[in-house]
């Protein structure tokens, strides 16, 4: 199956041989509760070019709210473009796009659960900032991190902890490190400080965020996905990878299959898009915490060639990525979620989640770029 001519050249080049067998589209355009219209921030006019190959017109200043033709319904053609990208990508893929300053959402497999991996750091940050808003925590509160608190995989803090014996950081510093660097130890330290997984689950329930699960924390999540029982010695060097490599192949496969079938950290793309929308609208946190978290997310360093790379010059993007373990060339969870802002101030929540795929990393990134590029291309139509 080949991509249609509407799909970007890079995406077609990297994935022209990919075939997705037996998937059933679940595209939907779902009316959303009407938000109070806000005046747009005017941006420069002129043509822009999508980095991955197809020129699109820039969004021209236009009326905000119900008079805007894109306020109540998705632009004609955007749903078909997203569906084609979804249909032709190999593996289990979920996509959701929601106009934050409007009334529409579109999705493919938007209601199904996908492994979040480090996307779940977003919920930890929200829970911590909600506790700050309620006066139960302070951004200046200091947290000690010792060797017993180290996790696994990406944790730049580990080197400091081992060289100094322990490290003390403020909650503010931990949020910055967990979101912008995706540091697992920083995130688990925040999680411990705010009350553990139960506190995050309580926040998700209190805010009625929908189909979003929160797992047991990085150490238990990753060891369980691999088929191991966590030991603190796994936090040292490559001990975890060495122990995982010694497991029988059948054990690893069974653990991975169980995780993918029923991810303990699963979330639906539509629910995540809705949560991003509510954050941007200011209905999840105080105005101060809302502005702070969006500012932190705008400095995320991971995934520069995922959704962000598909947006034309003049667009802004704040986001959080997530990447799972590999087994036999298949990755369990390859994600990017964020808020894209057009030059005229119109905002979109964009979510792309790859639950399992054997497609190479360039093809995964090309898919994400094509999705965000499509949003920009159809903006203003």
Helix crossing, 184-194 with 171-180: angle to 10°?
A: 140
CA 330 – CA 152 distance, rounded (Å): 20
Could you tell me the domains of the chain?
9-115+265-378 (3.40.710), 120-258 (3.40.710.10)
Cβ pair 201, 144 in contact under 8 A: no
Instruction: Write the burial class of residue 54 (CB in 10 Å: 0-12 exposed, 13-18 middle, 19+ buried).
Output: middle
| Residue 172 token pair | 């503010």
The H or E element containing residue 355 is strand 347-356
Within its chain, how far is the Cα of 56 from the centroid?
Answer: 25
Look-up: residue for tokens 């995922």? 306
From residue 117, alpha-carbon distances to 48, 188, 331 in Å are: 34, 13, 11
Average pLDDT over the chain reads 86
Cβ pair 1, 85 in contact under 8 A: no
Strands 326-327 and 347-356: unpaired
Give 3-state DSSP helix, strand, coil % of the chain, rounded to 5: 40, 20, 40
Q: Say which DSSP state 285 is in.
A: S
Confidence of residue 183 (pLDDT cuts 50, 70, 90): very high
346 has pLDDT over 60: yes
Whole-model pTM: value is 0.83
Confidence of residue 66 (pLDDT cuts 50, 70, 90): low
pLDDT tens by residue, 360-377: 999 999 999 999 999 999
Instruction: Write the burial class of residue 18 (CB in 10 Å: 0-12 exposed, 13-18 middle, 19+ buried).
Output: buried
| CB environment 341-378: b (16+ within 10 A), e (fewer) | bbbbbbbbbbbbbbbbbebeeebbbbbbbbbbbbbbbb
Confidence of residue 352 (pLDDT cuts 50, 70, 90): very high
Look-up: residue for tokens 């990208």? 85
| Residue 199 token pair | 């506190």
Instruction: Give the pLDDT confidence score for residue 189 in this predicted structure.
Output: 98
pLDDT tens by residue, 16-53: 433 333 333 333 333 444 334 343 333 333 333 333 33
Instruction: Give the pLDDT confidence score for residue 90 in this predicted structure.
Output: 93
pLDDT tens by residue, 147-179: 999 999 999 999 999 999 999 999 999 999 999
CA 319 – CA 47 distance, rounded (Å): 25
Instruction: Give the pLDDT confidence score for residue 67 in this predicted structure.
Output: 58
DSSP string, 236-253: STTHHHHHHHTS-HHHHH
- Residue 76: strand, helix, or coil: coil
136 has pLDDT over 50: yes
HSE-CB for 24 with a 13 A CA cutoff = 1
């Amino acid at each position: 199956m080949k991509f249609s001519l509407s799909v970007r050249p890079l995406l077609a080049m990297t994935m022209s041989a990919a075939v997705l067998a037996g998937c059933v589209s679940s595209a939907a355009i779902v009316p959303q509760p009407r938000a109070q219209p806000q005046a747009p921030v005017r941006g420069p006019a002129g043509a822009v070019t999508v980095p991955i190959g197809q020129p699109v017109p820039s969004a021209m200043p236009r009326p905000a709210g119900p008079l805007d033709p894109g306020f109540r319904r998705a632009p004609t053609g955007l749903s078909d473009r997203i569906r084609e990208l979804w249909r032709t990508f190999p593996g289990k893929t979920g996509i959701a796009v929601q106009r934050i300053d409007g009334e529409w959402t579109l999705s493919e497999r938007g209601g199904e659960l996908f492994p979040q991996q480090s996307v779940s750091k977003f919920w930890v940050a929200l829970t911590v900032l909600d506790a700050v808003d309620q006066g139960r925590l302070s951004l200046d509160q200091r947290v000690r991190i010792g060797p017993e608190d180290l996790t696994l995989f990406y944790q730049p803090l580990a080197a400091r902890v081992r060289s100094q014996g322990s490290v003390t950081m403020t909650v503010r510093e931990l949020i910055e490190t967990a979101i912008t660097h995706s540091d697992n130890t920083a995130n688990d330290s925040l999680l411990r400080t705010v009350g553990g997984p139960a506190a995050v689950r309580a926040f998700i329930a209190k805010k009625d965020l929908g189909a979003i699960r929160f797992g047991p924390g990085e150490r238990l999540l990753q060891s369980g996905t691999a088929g191991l029982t966590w030991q603190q010695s796994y936090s040292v060097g490559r001990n975890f990878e060495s122990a995982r490599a010694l497991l029988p192949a059948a054990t690893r496969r069974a653990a991975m299959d169980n995780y993918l079938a029923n991810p303990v950290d699963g979330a639906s793309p539509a629910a995540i898009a809705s949560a991003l929308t509510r954050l941007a609208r200011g209905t999840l946190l105080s105005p101060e915490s809302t502005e702070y978290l969006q500012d932190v997310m705008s400095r995320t360093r991971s995934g520069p060639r995922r959704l962000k790379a598909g947006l034309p010059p003049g667009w802004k993007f704040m986001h959080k990525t997530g990447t799972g373990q590999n087994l036999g060339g298949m990755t369990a969870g390859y994600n990017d979620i964020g808020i894209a802002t057009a030059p005229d101030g119109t905002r979109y929540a964009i979510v792309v989640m790859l639950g399992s795929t054997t497609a190479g990393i360039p093809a995964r990134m090309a898919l994400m770029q094509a999705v965000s590029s499509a949003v920009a291309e159809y903006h203003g139509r």
